[in-house]
Chain A
Amino acid sequence: MFNNIPFLKRFSTPLYKNTIAFTGKKVLLMISWLPVAIIFNEHVAYVGKIEGSSMRPTMNPSSTSLQDWVLLWKFNVKDNLKLDDVILFRSPTNPNKVLCKRIKAVQGDIVSTRHPYPRETCAIPRNHLWAEGDNIHSIDSNNFGPISKGLVIGKATRIIWPPQRWGTDISKGGRECRMSLITREYDDVEEVKTE
């Protein structure tokens, strides 16, 4: 075909044919690695952008500064969710939305809730978490109750953008909401406080 149209005759030369074949092969090779990249993003690690002010001052410290990007660690995270971890999870009220909050209580704990939760306390069921934003104004477990671990997508381990926020410690924040550590009625409060 290329030989008939004079203008396109140059594309029939061996140089062009080889270049096209070469590029084609390289593109196919890259495509064949795409599922591996997808699996890595789904199950090992990904990058997430934090939007909103519910984790202030730990993340997005002011509305004028750049939004934080975090390294989202997914590998083996479901069994290692601990108190004070910052997690990203699917919102129970809107499955297309991903929220970023901090774990403030785990299964078995009794939590002293904040407005607008309809009850004073809440017992966390098996394999559920109580997630609160570091900021007082946040939509979190005080609105939708404890969340199942099955909704957790991953753990935010460190801030990777903007560069001046590298190395920020995000491991502490939020209020203490577990009844056993708030009230002074327990005899062994000294023992508990040293942890």
Chain B
Amino acid sequence: MLDSVKTFTKILSYIIRGGCTIHVFQSTFIEFTETRGESMLPTLNSANDFVFSDKHYRNGRDLKIGDCIVALKPTDPDQRVCKRITGMPGDLILIDPSLKNYYNGNKQEIEFEDSFNKYIRVPKGHVWVTGDNLAHSLDSRSYNSIPLGLVKGKIIAANDFNKPFWENGVIYGFRKIENNYVDEA
């Protein structure tokens, strides 16, 4: 009887130690997590896309404009969102240059009212984030810039489980998620 209790506690202690090691690894180094939603199309698929989140970059460490990040939603900190940084602290950026107003009826012309005239300065310690699908993303344009303390990691790569196991030389649509802040010719 005492032996079985001993074995039980031994196994339990292995499970606890093993589980905690995995958890510490995931929160300190890299986490593999699922994303859902259309706000990051076409960079990330709307379902069954799993991202590698590098925890070195949590709390904004070494982050640059153009990086994709995983952050807590300010109004619902139980939920995580994947967005791209389009403004670092101190940057002067437009709130929403993609905002279009258009006429109904026959004259379907695209009018930009003052989308190109509304600037803000991103406050210290905050970043402005937008989803890559500007037409379908709830981001800083609605809830203002987010504090860097809510940033939990940078997205460095993704696996798309909608793709077959092997296609074009990659497993499950593996690709690196790049920073697209580049020089303009």
Partners in one complex: yes
A contact set with B: CB distance below 8 Å? 32-33, 35-36, 38-39, 42, 78, 89-96, 125-128, 147-151
In the assembled complex, the Cα of A78 lies from the Cα of B73 at a distance in Å of: 14
Cβ-based interface call for B10 (8 A): no
- Is A95 within 8 A of B74, CB to CB? no
Nearest chain-A residue to B150 (Cβ)?
A: A150
Knowing A95-B59, A127-B77, the reply to whether A148 touches B147 (Cβ < 8 A) is: yes
Are B20 and A148 in contact, with the CB atoms below 8 A? no
* B72 contacts chain A at the CB level, 8 A cutoff: yes
Check B24 against A151 for contact (C-beta < 8 Å): no
Task: Give A31 Cβ to nearest chain B Cβ, in Å.
Answer: 10
Contacts of A90 in B (CB 8 A): 59, 147, 149
Residues of A within 8 Å of B163, CB to CB, are: none
Task: Check if A148 sits within 8 Å of B123, measured CB to CB.
Answer: no
A-B contact pairs, 24 of them (CB 8 A): A32-B17, A33-B17, A35-B21, A35-B24, A39-B20, A89-B149, A90-B59, A91-B125, A91-B149, A92-B149, A93-B124, A93-B147, A94-B125, A95-B59, A95-B147, A96-B59, A127-B76, A128-B74, A128-B75, A148-B72, A148-B75, A148-B150, A150-B73, A151-B147
Q: Assuming A36-B17, A38-B20, A39-B20, is B76 touching A95 (CB within 8 A)?
A: no
The answer to the question of B100 belonging to the interface, with a C-beta cut-off of 8 Å to chain A, is: no
**Measured CA separation A148–B76 after assembly (Å):** 9
**With A90-B147, A148-B77, A149-B77: A38-B24 Cβ-Cβ less than 8 Å:** yes
Q: Identify 19 new A-B residue pairs, CB closer than 8 A, beyond the known A95-B125, A95-B148.
A: A32-B21, A33-B17, A35-B17, A35-B23, A35-B24, A36-B16, A39-B20, A39-B24, A91-B125, A92-B126, A92-B147, A93-B124, A95-B59, A95-B147, A147-B147, A148-B77, A148-B147, A148-B150, A150-B74
- Look across to chain A and name the residue whose beta carbon is closest to the beta carbon of B80: A150
**Which residue on B lies nearest to A94, using beta carbons?**
B125
* Chain A residue with Cβ nearest B25: A35
Q: How far is the CB of B70 from chain A (nearest CB, A)?
A: 12
Per-residue interface assignment for chain B, residues 140 to 172, with 1 indicating a CB less than 8 Å from any chain A CB and 0 otherwise: 000000111111000000000000000000000
Distance in angstroms between the alpha carbons of A33 and B21 in the assembled complex? 9
Chain B residues within 8 Å of A39, by CB: 20, 23-24
- The chain A residue sitting closest to B28, CB to CB, is A38
Complex Cα–Cα for A147 and B150 (A): 11
Instruction: Provide the bound-state CA to CA distance between A190 and B21, in Å.
Output: 54
Shortest beta-carbon distance from B42 to chain A in Å: 28
A95 with B17: in contact, given A127-B76, A148-B147 (CB under 8 Å)?
A: no
Contact B75 A127 (CB under 8 A): yes
Write out the residue numbers on chain A whose beta carbons fall within 8 Å of the beta carbon of B146: 148
Give A94 Cβ to nearest chain B Cβ, in Å: 5
Are A42 and B74 in contact (CB-based, < 8 A)? no
Is there a chain A Cβ closer than 8 Å to B133's Cβ? no
Inter-chain contacts of B77 with A (CB < 8 A): 78, 127, 148-150
